[in-house]
């Protein structure tokens, strides 16, 4: 979304008022808004909201209660409201959309590029969606409906249909003349002109800055460069990877026949990258984010599933311990020490896991180097295991005065840290091989391994050697 254009010149001067040095919204400013809303002081509210960038308005909304948001929506200029909608957290957008009359919404959406408009329409209830779409001009409606016809999280959803294409026989002069004449159908901002063949297939791209610097009589085909085409059905994660890898600013989207159907710009990709990264971080912690505005029950529901899975694996670990009840009754020190082995294993496993998940996401780990990386992890596990075995062994030897107990816990430490390293890299590799997201279920597998084997090796070795 290229919404720079509504950012008025006042933003720069006002920055002190509402932004901190790090471009985050100033908490004191938010409090001023809350005060004005509480007092029902619409005039002051309008003054505060004036010249706020839509991204700052969206940011502000996230810090307000539902009642205060209603006040803000009331006093927001229509064009700013339109630009704010695509920026809002999902839950807040749904709430705001329920409050805006369909006619006003239809008008607002026409201000947006087709990808942003579609993202908003997607969040409407079925009946409201029909009313809004019916109130829009044919062309805009078609663009939005076409966008929504592509699968979620695909290039088709991300792209905007507005694109600047030029036939391959044009020169720089033809292109500039065309640009000056045809104002309305072009995207608000664009960075590349796609050169197309008679079948509407992209054959190259000319960066706008290069067009500007070239003489009018130069043929486009002489200054164009290769394009990285994006298939319309490609998953957004892979689109983001292509942008990141090749430092793309924009890329043409093509249908299965190779025909140009739209373009994706890097500013949308930045959001996707953040989204995918958030998903990875949260998946590794076994949780999904419900947003800062979610209510307690939806947060409880989002956390319970993995806690339930963890309960089962914890019961499994407990059942392993229960096999050794007699030994523990004989030597209670075993109960005191066994969580150390499990905890160290869990930690080492999590370390290996995080590195592996990240490498897979960056496409830095595949069958070319999998064996090498797995062997390295095993070596790391053995070496760290040995180091900490010695350290812990000395502590335990002095603490309990039973040298063989120190030997047992040391041996268990080596075994468990090696298993942890192995599980930490093999589990995500296996999930990835089967086309699953390696971040999602990996942590629970890895900690099950480190808990179950941690308790089993320590208590088992103690039984064999000590008792």
How near is the Cβ of 309 to its own copies at its closest, in Å? 9
Q: Where are the alpha helices (DSSP H) in 362-437?
A: 370-400, 403-433
Q: Tell me: does residue 335 bind its own copies (CB under 8 A).
A: yes
Coil vs helix vs strand at 231:
strand
| Contact present, 49 and 75 (Cβ < 8 Å) | yes
d(CA 193, CA 80): 29
Q: Tell me: does residue 177 bind its own copies (CB under 8 A).
A: no
Q: Tell me: does residue 37 bind its own copies (CB under 8 A).
A: no
Helical (H) or strand (E) element with 241: helix 236-246
Residues 210-249 that bind its own copies (CB under 8 A): 210-215, 225-229, 231, 234-235, 238, 241-249
Q: Tell me: does residue 433 bind its own copies (CB under 8 A).
A: no
| Contact present, 275 and 413 (Cβ < 8 Å) | no
Choose one: 66-74, 94-102, 349-357, 429-437; the region binding its own copies (CB under 8 A): 349-357
Per rule CB under 8 A, count of chain residues that contact its own copies = 146
Helix, strand, coil percentages, rounded to 5, for the chain: 65, 5, 25
d(CA 183, CA 188): 9
186: DSSP letter? S
Among 131, 142, 219, 273, binds its own copies (CB under 8 A): 273
Q: Between 20 and 134, name the residue whose CB sits nearer to its own copies.
A: 20
Pattern 249-268, binding to its own copies, x per CB under 8 A? Answer: x----------------xx-
> What burial letters (b/e) apply to 90-129, b meaning 16+ CB within 10 Å?
ebbbebbbeebebeebbbbbebbbbbbbbbbbebbeeebb
Q: Tell me: does residue 390 bind its own copies (CB under 8 A).
A: no
Choose one: 72-80, 91-99, 138-146, 175-183; the region binding its own copies (CB under 8 A): 175-183
How many residues would you count in the chain? 467
Among 142, 165, 328, 441, binds its own copies (CB under 8 A): 328
Choose one: 121-129, 135-143, 147-155, 369-377; the region binding its own copies (CB under 8 A): 369-377
Q: Tell me: does residue 131 bind its own copies (CB under 8 A).
A: no
Choose one: 70-78, 124-132, 153-161, 335-343; the region binding its own copies (CB under 8 A): 335-343
Q: Between 81 and 193, name the residue whose CB sits nearer to its own copies.
A: 193
Among 286, 393, 428, 438, binds its own copies (CB under 8 A): 286
Close Cβ partners of 265 (under 8 Å, ≥ 6 residues apart): 2, 160, 189, 190, 191, 249, 250
Choose one: 38-46, 134-142, 149-157, 371-379; the region binding its own copies (CB under 8 A): 371-379
25: DSSP letter? B
Q: Tell me: does residue 74 bind its own copies (CB under 8 A).
A: no
d(CA 394, CA 396): 6
d(CA 374, CA 414): 17
d(CA 385, CA 409): 11
Residues 77-116 that bind its own copies (CB under 8 A): none
Could you tell me which residues are beta bridge partners of residue 107?
A: none
d(CA 59, CA 42): 20
Q: Tell me: does residue 21 bind its own copies (CB under 8 A).
A: yes
Among 70, 135, 189, 219, binds its own copies (CB under 8 A): 189
Among 66, 139, 149, 347, binds its own copies (CB under 8 A): 347
Among 148, 165, 176, 219, binds its own copies (CB under 8 A): 176
104: DSSP letter? H
Pattern 397-426, binding to its own copies, x per CB under 8 A? Answer: ------------------------------
How near is the Cβ of 261 to its own copies at its closest, in Å? 17
Q: Tell me: does residue 343 bind its own copies (CB under 8 A).
A: yes
Could you tell me which residues are beta bridge partners of residue 230?
A: 253
Helical (H) or strand (E) element with 5: none
Choose one: 71-79, 96-104, 123-131, 300-308; the region binding its own copies (CB under 8 A): 300-308
Work out the number of other CB atoms within 10 angstroms of the CB of residue 229. 17
How near is the Cβ of 210 to its own copies at its closest, in Å? 7
């Amino acid at each position: 979304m290229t919404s720079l254009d509504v950012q008025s010149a006042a933003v720069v001067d006002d920055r002190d008022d509402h932004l901190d040095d790090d471009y985050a919204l100033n908490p004191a400013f938010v409090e001023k808004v809350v005060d004005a809303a509480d007092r029902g002081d619409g005039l002051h509210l309008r003054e505060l909201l004036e010249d706020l960038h839509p991204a700052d308005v969206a940011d502000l909304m996230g810090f307000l209660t539902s009642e205060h948001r209603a006040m803000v929506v009331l006093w927001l200029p229509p064009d700013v409201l339109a630009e704010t909608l695509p920026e809002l957290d999902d839950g807040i957008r749904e709430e705001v959309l329920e409050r805006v009359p369909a006619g006003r919404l239809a008008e607002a959406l026409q201000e947006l590029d087709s990808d942003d408009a579609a993202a908003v329409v997607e969040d409407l209830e079925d009946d409201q969606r029909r009313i809004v779409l019916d109130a829009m001009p044919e062309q805009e409606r078609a663009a939005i409906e076409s966008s929504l016809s592509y699968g979620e999280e695909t290039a088709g959803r991300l792209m905007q249909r507005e694109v600047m294409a030029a036939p391959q026989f044009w020169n720089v002069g033809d292109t500039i003349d065309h640009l000056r004449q045809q104002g309305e159908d072009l995207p608000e901002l664009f960075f590349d002109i796609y050169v197309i063949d008679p079948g509407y297939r992209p054959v190259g791209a000319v960066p706008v800055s290069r067009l500007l610097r070239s003489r009018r009589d130069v043929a486009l085909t002489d200054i164009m460069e290769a394009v990285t085409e994006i298939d319309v059905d490609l998953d957004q994660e892979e689109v983001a990877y292509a942008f990141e890898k090749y430092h793309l600013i924009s890329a043409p989207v093509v249908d299965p026949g190779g025909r140009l159907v739209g373009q994706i710009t890097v500013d949308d990709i930045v959001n996707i990258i953040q989204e995918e990264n958030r998903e990875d971080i949260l998946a590794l912690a076994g949780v999904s984010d419900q947003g800062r505005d979610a209510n307690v029950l939806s947060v409880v529901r989002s956390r319970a599933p993995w806690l339930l899975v963890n309960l089962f694996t914890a019961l499994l670990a407990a059942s392993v311990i229960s096999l050794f009840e007699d030994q523990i009754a004989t030597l209670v020190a075993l109960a005191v020490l066994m969580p150390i082995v499990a905890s160290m294993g869990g930690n080492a496993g999590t370390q290996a896991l995080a590195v592996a998940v990240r490498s897979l996401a960056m496409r830095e780990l595949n069958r070319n180097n999998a064996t090498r990386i797995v062997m390295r992890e095993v070596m790391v596990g053995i070496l760290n295991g040995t180091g900490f075995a010695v350290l812990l062994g000395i502590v335990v030897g002095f603490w309990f005065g039973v040298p063989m107990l120190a030997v047992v816990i040391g041996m268990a430490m080596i075994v468990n840290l090696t298993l942890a390293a192995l599980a930490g890299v093999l589990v995500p590799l296996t999930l990835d091989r089967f086309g699953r997201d390696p971040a999602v279920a990996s942590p629970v597998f890895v900690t099950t391994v480190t808990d179950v084997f941690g308790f089993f090796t320590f208590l088992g070795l103690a039984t064999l050697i000590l008792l």
